[in-house]
Amino acid sequence: MWRFIFHRLLQAIPVILAVITVTFFLVRTAPGGPFDSEKAVLPEVQRALEAQYKLDLPLHEQYLAYLSDLAQGDLGPSFKYPGRSVNEILFSGLPVTAELGFYALCIALVIGVLAGVLASLKPNTPQDYIPMSLAMIGICMPSFLLGPLLVLLFGITLEWLPISGWGDIPGDKILPSITLGSAYAAYIARLSRAGMLEILSQDYIRTARAKGLPEWQVVTRHALRGGLIPVIAFLGPAFAGLLAGSFVVETIFQIPGLGRFYVQAAFNRDYTMILGTTVFLSTLIILFNLASDVIAAWLNPRLRAQYQRGTR
Amino acid sequence: MRSISQALIGFSVMLILAACGAGESNVVQGNRDGILHYGNGAEPQGLDPHVVTGVPENHIIRALFEGLAVKNPITLEPEPGVAERWEFSDEGRVITFFLNPNARWSNGEQVTADDYVWSWDRALHPNTGNLYAYMLYPVANAEAYAKGEITDFSAVGVKALNDTTLQVTLNTPTPYFIQLMDHYSTFAVHPETLLQFGEKTDRFTPWTRVGNIVTNGAFTLEEWSLNRRIIVKKSPLYWDRDRVSLNGVVFYPTENVVSEERMFRVEQLHYTSVVPLDKIPTYRQMPDSPYIQSPYLGTYYYLLNTERPPINDVRVRQALSMAVDREQLARTVLQNTAVPAYSITPPGTLGYFPPQVFEYNPEQAQQLLREAGYPNGEGWPGIEIIYNTQEAHRKIAVAIQQMWKRTLNIDVTIANQEWKVYLNSVSQGDFQVARRGWIGDYVDPNNFLDLFIKDGGNNNTGFANATYDDLILYRAPRAPNREARYALFTEAETMLMEEMPIIPIYTYTSKHLIHPSVEGIYPNLMDSLNLKYVRLNPNRRLAGVTD
C-alpha cells in the first residue's frame, strides 16, 4: 500500500511540472498584459512596472526564476493587488472555500445517498422515479439559477435567512452551502443508485436475505459498503471540483473565497496569481484523487489485494 | 465521521436559529451606531495613493487621506483640506499653500510641507510606476523628472518654505490645478512609515496594512478582510473632526450588481455603487424613491479609425454619426438612464456647454454617404464594431447596427472581445469602430479635449490637426479668463465634431440606491462623495420594506 502511494506521488511530480510550464507560457501568449488599462500607460511607467515585477527579463529567465521561487514555496507578488503576495491571497481564501465545500459535500452526501438508496430498493417504481427525477433537475439546474431562486424565496420573501456574507450574520452559510451542494447531491444520488443496484443483485446479498436478516440490516450492513464505492471514488475529484468551482456561488453570495480570485486572475492577466492558483488546485486535485483511491481500496478487498500484489 | 456529524448538528442548529428571525438589519443597527454600510463595487487593489487606480480605491483612500484642498460636494469648487488657504502669484504660475497647523497624521505628528515634497517626489519618481503621475505634470519640471530626463528633484517646482508653507511653481497657469489636490495621486503619505517597510519607491510593501498605515483623513483603517469588507472608523485626531458625524463606514466589495441590489433590499446596505438596469423602473415608481440618478462626468462614444477605409472619408464618418438616433437609444435600450451626447465634453462641465455641431438627420446622412460613393449602401465594403464583452455594450452595438442598416442600408458586423484583448486592439489601432468611454479625472473641458491631440496616448483614432493642437496646448492655457478659454474650447470642439474621429453616443449618469436614512450625499458631476458631510437619520425608513 505504501509503495502504491509513493509511486503515485512520484508520478505526480512531472504532471505538476507540466501544468506549471504550460500555464506559464500559455498566459503570456494571451493578448494584453497585466498593466494594460483603459487609460494609456505612459512608456516610462510601463518600463518601471515591468522592472519591478521582473517582466523585463527574457522569458526563460523569468521561468527559471519562477521555478526557483516556487521550490521555496513563494508564489510571487500579485500584479493586480500590489502589496499582497499570491500565497497570502490563497491562504486567506482557502479556509473559506474549503469550509463552504465541506458543508456542500455533507449536504450532497446526506441527500444524495438517501435518495439513491431509496431509489435502488424499489427500482422502476415511484420511489425510484421521484428522487431520480429530482436528481436530474438538480444536475440540470445551474447554481447561478438555483442561488438567486433560493435567495428570493428564503431571503427576501420569507426573510428567514441572510442572503450574503460568510460568518457575518448567523445562518448566512446555509444558502450558499445548499446551492453549491445540490448539483453534487444529484450526482451522488445517481451514483449510489447504480452502485446499490449492482450490489443488491449479488449472491452474497441473496445469502444474507436467505439467512433471514431483516431488509434494513441487509442494506446497512452488507449492501451499503460495496454499493457506495463509486460514491467514494467520486468524492475526491468532487471536493477538488468544489474548491475550484465555487466561483459562481461565491459571487452570488459575496463570499470571500478562492474562486473569485481564481477566475478574475485570468481576466486581469495577473500572471503570478493565475499560476499560483492553477498549481495549487492541480496539486490538490492530484492529492484528492489519490486519497479517494486509497479509501476505495480500503473499502474494496479485491482492489486492496491488487495493490498489495503490485499488479496495478 | 464524528466531525461530519458534529458539523451537521451545528448546521441544523444554525438553520433553526436563523429561522427564528434573522435579527436586526445592518441598516437599523448602523443608524443607531452611526455606521454607514457602503456598497463599493470591487475589492480595492490596494490603498497606496501613488500605486492604485480606480473608483473603489478612490472612495476608501479619500476616507482615509485628505488632500491639500477638497471638493465641496454640492458645488465641486475647492475648499480647505490640509491647506487652510492658498494664494496665487506671478499671474497664477506660483501657488502658495498655507497648511493647517492642526492637520495631524493618525500617529499624532503634524502634517508638514516637507511631507508633501517627499510624497510628490515619490508620486513622480520613475521607479514608483505611478499611472497617475501625469496629474502633477503641470508642476514645473515634473514631467522631465517623471520621464527620467532629470534626476534632481530639487529642480521640480515644489518647495517647503517652512513647516506649514508649501510653494508650487507651475509651467503655465493651470486653472484646474487646485482641483487636482483632491486626487489621491497628489496626496501626502507619511514618509517614516513607508521607509520602515521598504524603499521610497517600492510598490508592494505592507505599509498600508491595518496596524501599519498612518493616514491624515477623517477616518482611520480598522479592518481589512480581503474580499469581505473594509472598516474605517472616525479619527479622533482629524482637524475637522467636529464636522464628522459618522462613527465609521463599512465598505463591501459588491462585485455582483444583482447581489448588491438584493443586499440593499434586505437592508444590508445603505448605499449601492450602481443599480441593475432592469430594476430601475421598479425603484423609480416607489414612493420616496431611493433611486438617485444624476449626470456624470463621462462620455460613451465610438472610436473611428480614421486611417482605415471606408471611414477614412470624413463624409462617411459624418453619415454614420448622423444616422444614430440617440434619443431613441436613450429611451429604449438605456431606459432613460443616459443623456444623448453630441460632443465629447459633457454639458455643464464647470459652466462649459459644448457646441452642437450636428443632429440626428437621416436624409443628410444618406446624402453624405451618396457623395462618398456608396449611394443607398451600394458598394459598401462592410465594417466591424468591436466592444468589450458586456451585455450593455452588446445591446447598444446591436441597436446602432440596426439604425445604420435602416437608414443607410449598410452592413455592419459586431464582435465582442475579452477586456484585455479589446484594450490591445484599441491601443494597436487594430479596429474600424470601437466602443469607448472616458470618465473625467477633473472637472474641466481640457480633460476631454486633450484626448485628441496628435499622438495623444488616448487618442486612438489617428486624428491629427495642428490647429486643434495649438488651441488646446498653447492658446487655451494662456487665455486671460474663463470666458475666453471656453470660447477657445468651443472652437476646438466644433473642429473635432466636424472631423468626427469619434461618434459621441451618450453622457453617463451615476446611479445609486441610497437609503432614506442617509443625508448629505449630494448628486454631482464627479459622483464625488465627501464622507465628512454624511449623517444618518434613524427615523427615515425605506418604503415597501416589510417587517
- CA dihedral A85→A86→A87→A88, nearest 10 degrees, is 60
Instruction: Give yes or no for a contact between B306 and B461, defined as CB atoms under 8 angstroms apart.
Output: yes
Among the listed residues B386, B391, B412, the one whose alpha carbon sits nearest the alpha carbon of residue B323: B412
The one-letter amino acid at B475: R
Look at A151 and B52 and tell me if their CB atoms are within 8 Å: no
Task: List CB contacts of B213: < 8 A, sequence separation 6 or more.
Answer: B47, B64, B193, B207, B221
Asked whether the CA dihedral B90, B92, B98, B99 is positive or negative, the reply is negative
Output b/e per residue, A213-241; b: 16+ Cβ within 10 A: eeeeebbeebbbebbbbbbbbbbbebbbb
The residue to which cell 437608414 is assigned:
B407
pLDDT in tens, A76-85: 989 888 888 8
| Best B147, B223, B420 residue to mutate vs chain A (most A CBs within 10 Å) | B420
The H-assigned helical ranges of chain A are 2-29, 43-52, 59-71, 86-121, 126-140, 143-150, 174-200, 203-210, 215-217, 224-227, 229-244, 247-252, 258-268, 271-299, 301-309
Among the listed residues B27, B24, B22, B25, the one whose alpha carbon sits nearest the alpha carbon of residue B538: B27
Give the separation between CA B184 and CA B212, rounded to whole angstroms. 19
Q: Is B458 on the interface with A (CB under 8 A)?
A: yes
| Best A35, A41, A42 residue to mutate vs chain B (most B CBs within 10 Å) | A42
Q: Is A170 on the interface with B (CB under 8 A)?
A: yes
Q: Is A156 on the interface with B (CB under 8 A)?
A: yes
Say how many Å lie between the first and final Cα of chain A, rounded: 11
Look at B259 and A164 and tell me if their CB atoms are within 8 Å: yes
- Which residues in chain B have their CB less than 8 angstroms from residue A48's CB? 126-129
- Which residues in chain A have their CB less than 8 angstroms from residue B148's CB? 44
Three-state DSSP class for residue B6: helix
Task: List CB contacts of B166: < 8 A, sequence separation 6 or more.
Answer: B68, B83, B96, B97, B99, B113, B116, B117, B158, B159, B160
Say how many Å lie between the first and final Cα of chain B, rounded: 41
Q: Is B419 on the interface with A (CB under 8 A)?
A: yes
* Strand-pair partners of B414: B385
pTM, two decimals, is: 0.88
The one-letter amino acid at A288: F
Confidence grade of residue A310 (pLDDT, cut at 50, 70, 90): low
Task: Tell me the residues of chain A between 229 and 258 that have a Cβ less than 8 Å away from chain B.
Answer: 251-254, 256-257
Shortest distance between the Cα of A165 and any Cα of chain B, in A, equals 8
pLDDT in tens, B274-309: 999 889 999 999 888 999 999 999 999 999 999 998
Quick one: closest CA in B to A167, which residue?
A: B228
The H-assigned helical ranges of B326-438 are 326-331, 362-371, 391-408, 419-428
Contacts 24+ apart (CB under 8 A), A3-9: A3/A310, A4/A297, A4/A307, A4/A310, A4/A312, A5/A290, A5/A294, A8/A290, A8/A293, A9/A290
Among the listed residues B262, B257, B293, B256, the one whose alpha carbon sits nearest the alpha carbon of residue B276: B257
Q: Can you give the pLDDT at residue A311?
A: 46
Q: Can you give the pLDDT at residue B21?
A: 47
Q: Is the peptide bond before A123 cis (omega within 30 degrees of 0)?
A: no
Instruction: Give yes or no for a contact between B292 and B283, defined as CB atoms under 8 angstroms apart.
Output: no
Give the rounded distance of the alpha carbon of A245 from its chain centre: 6
Instruction: Give yes or no for a contact between B54 and B44, defined as CB atoms under 8 angstroms apart.
Output: yes
* A81 → closest Cβ in B46, B147, B424: B46
Task: Tell me the residues of chain B between 249 and 268 that have a Cβ less than 8 Å away from chain A.
Answer: 252-256, 258-259, 262-263, 265-266, 268
**Which grid coordinates are listed for B111?**
502634517
The one-letter amino acid at B506: Y
The rounded radius of gyration (Å) of the Cα atoms in chain A is 24
What angle in degrees, to the nearest 10, is found between the helix axes of A271-299 and A301-309? 110
Instruction: Give yes or no for a contact between B360 and B325, defined as CB atoms under 8 angstroms apart.
Output: yes
Task: Measure Cα distances from B345 to B451, B494, B496 in Å.
Answer: 11, 11, 11
Shortest distance between the Cα of B407 and any Cα of chain A, in A, equals 32
pLDDT in tens, A28-57: 888 888 888 888 888 888 888 888 888 888
Q: Is B149 on the interface with A (CB under 8 A)?
A: no
Q: Can you give the pLDDT at residue B12?
A: 53
**Which grid coordinates are listed for B544?**
415597501
% of chain A beyond a pLDDT of 90: 25
The residue to which cell 437599523 is assigned:
B28
Tens-binned pLDDT, residue by residue, of chain B (547 aa): 344 445 445 555 554 444 444 568 899 999 999 999 999 998 999 999 999 888 899 999 999 999 999 998 888 889 999 999 999 998 889 999 999 999 999 999 999 999 999 999 999 999 898 989 989 999 999 999 999 899 999 999 999 999 999 999 999 888 889 999 999 999 999 999 999 999 999 888 899 999 999 999 999 999 999 889 999 999 999 999 999 999 999 999 998 899 999 999 999 999 999 999 889 999 999 888 999 999 999 999 999 999 998 999 999 999 999 999 999 999 999 999 999 999 999 998 888 999 999 999 999 999 999 999 999 999 999 999 999 988 889 999 999 999 999 999 999 999 999 998 999 999 889 999 999 999 988 888 999 999 999 988 889 999 999 999 999 988 988 888 889 999 999 999 999 999 999 999 999 999 999 999 999 999 888 888 899 999 999 888 877 654 3
The H-assigned helical ranges of B429-537 are 446-449, 466-469, 482-499
Look at A36 and B423 and tell me if their CB atoms are within 8 Å: yes
Look at B52 and A103 and tell me if their CB atoms are within 8 Å: no
